Amino acid sequence: MLHQETNEYGVISIDNTFLNQLIKDSLRDYEGKAWSANYKGRSQDFLVRLGTFDALSDIKASESERGIKIRIPLMVKFGLSMSTLADHVIKYIVDTLKNDLGLKIDEIEIIITGMIMSKGIAKRSVVFRYIGNAQD
């Protein structure tokens, strides 16, 4: 369990399954152009298509007193703007966790681990970060 909060309406639980679905939803606009990857830059899209959430297991999430910290490795198809993709995924996650659920976010880190090209996969290590505001 990543985060659990109780109020007068009941219990709100945020776990890895919720985060996996959230990230999968954030990539919906980039279907066929961006995939979840492991830290070595290998795509696990075939498992995602089968509906196996374990395919997204290289997504790391933790919680501290400053908020939730998420690390997401992705692969992209050649020609896709990495910064546009990262901005979209970060905005989607921030909108859901911070604005909709009222949770604090410490950091979101998007790591582009590879680029799919016509002749194979070119390894990359491009990092995009969102640092939460201390006044959140």
Indicate the domain borders of the chain: 3-131
Instruction: Give me the pLDDT at residue 119, please.
Output: 83
Matching residue, tokens 């992705």 = 74
Lowest mean pLDDT of 21-25, 52-56, 99-103, 116-120, name the range: 52-56
Read off the pLDDT of residues 81-120 as tens digits, 9 standing for 90 and up.
999 999 999 999 999 988 888 888 999 999 998 888 888 7
Instruction: Give me the pLDDT at residue 130, please.
Output: 95
Contacts of 16 (CB under 8 A, 6+ apart): 2, 53, 59, 61
